[in-house]
Amino acid sequence: MKVRTDCREYRGDLPCKPHKLHRVKCDDCSYYAPFKENILIIKLGAAGDVIRTTPILHKIRTQYPHAQIVWLTLYPLFVPNDYVDTILKWDLKSALWLQSMEFDLLFNLDKDKEALGLATLIKAKEKRGYLPNEFGKCVPADDDSTHKWRTGIFDDECIANTKSYPQEIVELCGYKYSGQKYIFNLSKKEYSFDLPTDKPIIGLNTGCGTRWLTRLWGEKNWISLSDLLARNGFVPVLLGGPEEDELNRFISDHSKATYLGTMPLDKFCHLFNQIELCVTSVTMAMHIAIGLNKKLVLLNNIFNKHEFELYGLGNILEPDQECLCCYKNTCPLDCMVTIKPQTVFENIQELLK
């Protein structure tokens, strides 16, 4: 009997699922589904970037329906397992295993040194995205990658860019963009949350990480918005991670907002699924909201607003300043706080009509 090692069900170190369930073996198995191509995607982070890179899977899976698709990442939770056969967490074991293989097609979508190095070491018949030059610096692998690469190294081209990230990343991979959406799968775990079920829940994502602190909207604005929402029949729920815990506790102590504390990322995504609309600056939470098809009010100041594809789910609010898209981490103007809570509240009402 020949063992069909090219089968999608074959595991190599353990019995396959059809054998365990139905006691079939390779010579009499109707579940045989051979791989035809081997494809690798390298997209390590950040978390939000992994989520907003998932639109490429629509095109790749359509063109290669019988391929094994492998995705290497720092955030396995955000890679959809109904499109990707093997999801690998970035570590030494994964890097060693990948170097033992040969791929038909490799997409490296990261400019980080470790991603560039690994993309060079792994054998592949065709490589797209980014590769290192002779000095180890990022360069485009082909013409399709040039636009996204140039907007990353020239400020004026970044500011003038009118393409969204999903469009750029789909085109970088060599495909035509036609509005492909994020693919976001919640885990099958079940969580319970002590939240009302008779009022619309509004998620308030208060933080922004540490890289661009100019995105912070300010505790006074969050407090004012929370009270506006509560007075008008909404349930404001504060969202964030450990970095926002102190801020969120302060806001909840001084407003009508509910705060359930910090929690593992998977549970956080399930909490997110309870809300109807999210107010956030440009963060991972924005991409989770889009992935879960939630309404969205996006507060933006330092990025090019054309970068964000909201798929008709929401509105982008910006300060009235000429120096937007500055990418500054600190600024004495503190322009974000000038967006008024009343303006945000009116946008929430409009989107939830």
pLDDT tens digits, one per residue of 110-144: 999 999 999 999 999 999 999 999 999 999 999 99
**Top-level CATH class of 201-351?**
alpha beta
Q: ω before 124 within 30° of 0 (cis)?
A: no
Query: At how many degrees (to 10) do helices 245-253 and 219-231 cross?
Result: 50
What's the rounded mean pLDDT across residues 195-208?
Answer: 93
Indicate where the chain has its CATH 3.40.50.2000 domain(s): 37-172, 201-351
CB 262 within 8 A of CB 252: no
Mean pLDDT for the stretch of residues 311-331: 84
- Region of 198 on the Ramachandran plot (φ > 0 left; ψ -120 to 50 alpha; else beta): alpha
3-state DSSP percent of the chain in helix, strand and coil, to 5: 35, 20, 45
Give the pLDDT confidence score for residue 326 in this predicted structure. 72
pLDDT-wise least confident of 183-197, 209-223, 227-241: 209-223
Return the C-alpha torsion angle 307, 312, 315, 320, nearest 10. 50
Please give the torsion angle defined by the CA atoms of residues 125, 130, 135 and 136, in that order, rounded to the nearest 10 degrees: -90
Instruction: Check whether 195 has a pLDDT greater than 80.
Output: yes
The CATH class for the domain spanning 37-172 reads: alpha beta
What pLDDT was estimated at residue 323?
78
Q: Name the residue among 309, 248, 240 with its Cα closest to residue 278.
A: 240
In 3D, which of 63, 62, 61, 101 has the Cα closest to residue 81?
A: 61
| pLDDT bracket for residue 332 (50, 70, 90) | confident
Q: Average pLDDT, whole number, for the chain?
A: 95
End-to-end CA distance of the chain: 64
For the segment 33-81, what is each residue's pLDDT rounded down to a tens digit? 999 999 999 999 899 999 999 999 999 999 999 999 999 999 999 999 9
Write the single-letter amino acid at 10.
Answer: Y
Give this prediction's pTM: 0.93
Q: What is the pLDDT of residue 329?
A: 74
> Distance between CA 281 and CA 285 in Å, rounded?
8
Q: What percent of the chain is predicted at pLDDT more than 70?
A: 99
Residue 216 is predicted with a pLDDT of: 87
7: helix, strand or coil: strand
What is the DSSP annotation of 63-110?
Answer: H-TTEEEEEEES-GGGS-TTT-SEEEESSHHHHHHHHT-EESEEEE--
pLDDT in tens, 246-262: 999 999 999 999 999 99
The string of pLDDT tens digits covering residues 215-236 is 889 999 999 999 999 999 999 9
Taking the C-alpha atoms of residue 334 and residue 298, their distance in angstroms, rounded to an integer, is 17
pLDDT at position 215? 84
Rounded Cα–Cα distance for residues 42 and 112 (Å): 11
